[in-house]
A and B are shown apart, each in its own frame.
Chain A
Amino acid sequence: ETGVTQTPRHLVMGMTNKKSLKCEQHLGHNAMYWYKQSAKKPLELMFVYNFKEQTENNSVPSRFSPECPNSSHLFLHLHTLQPEDSALYLCASSQENRGADTQYFGPGTRLTVL
């Protein structure tokens, strides 16, 4: 899985902490995505960036703040999270933001909010 990497792989944080998740893709893609994966739920699309511009914010609470400084890097800044935010956060990339463009996923960050 060297195409899309995510760090850290595991994160435990308190509700008052501030942390950031990092994603990097080495595929030359122009679109990057953040998904939330909770147990027994479909993958939930959170944010989409296409050519560094945010094109989708799927009604995500403001305690999640994405940043895309360039087409290869994507961050998810976290602050004052809730225990229900505990989940696997997946980053993906694709050539462009089109459903027909294959999305390549990173291994995810397992987040636990205490």
Chain B
Amino acid sequence: GESVGLHLPTLSVQEGDNSIINCAYSNSASDYFIWYKQESGKGPQFIIDIRSNMDKRQGQRVTVLLNKTVKHLSLQIAATQPGDSAVYFCAETLWANNLFFGTGTRLTVIP
């Protein structure tokens, strides 16, 4: 079955620095990837997605990079703010199938 995992369970960054959260996936057939953010006491919230025919996609202060050769996904957050402190999940799927979520990385922003 699919396996979605994260390289690091925790990440601490200084406010204002850039953050990079990594994710590895095992199913080379997956064609759609999503990053979710979950703040304490809340459900996961969609951040950004990317299809397998793209290498990079940018949003507001966030960028997702996809490296299909090594089956690696990353989320970059520019100028990290205290409000970015949360657990970040990557998820993968085949277009019409269910999502498979990773275990999550806890990002802590140090003021």
Contacts and interface: CB of A to CB of B under 8 A. Distances in A.
Interface stretch (B64-72, B75-83, B91-99): B91-99
A99 B98 contact: yes
B103 A42 contact: yes
A8 to B, nearest CB: 14
Q: Kindly state the interface size class of chain B when it binds its partner.
A: 20 to 34
B94 A42 contact: no
A79 to B, nearest CB: 25
Q: Kindly state the interface size class of chain A when it binds its partner.
A: 20 to 34
B5 to A, nearest CB: 9
B4 A108 contact: no
Contacts of A107: 41-43
B88 interface: no
Interface of B: 4, 9, 32, 34, 36, 41-46, 49, 89, 93-104
18 contacts: A1-B42, A42-B100, A42-B104, A43-B44, A43-B101, A98-B96, A98-B97, A99-B32, A99-B97, A99-B98, A100-B95, A100-B96, A102-B34, A102-B46, A105-B44, A107-B41, A107-B43, A108-B42
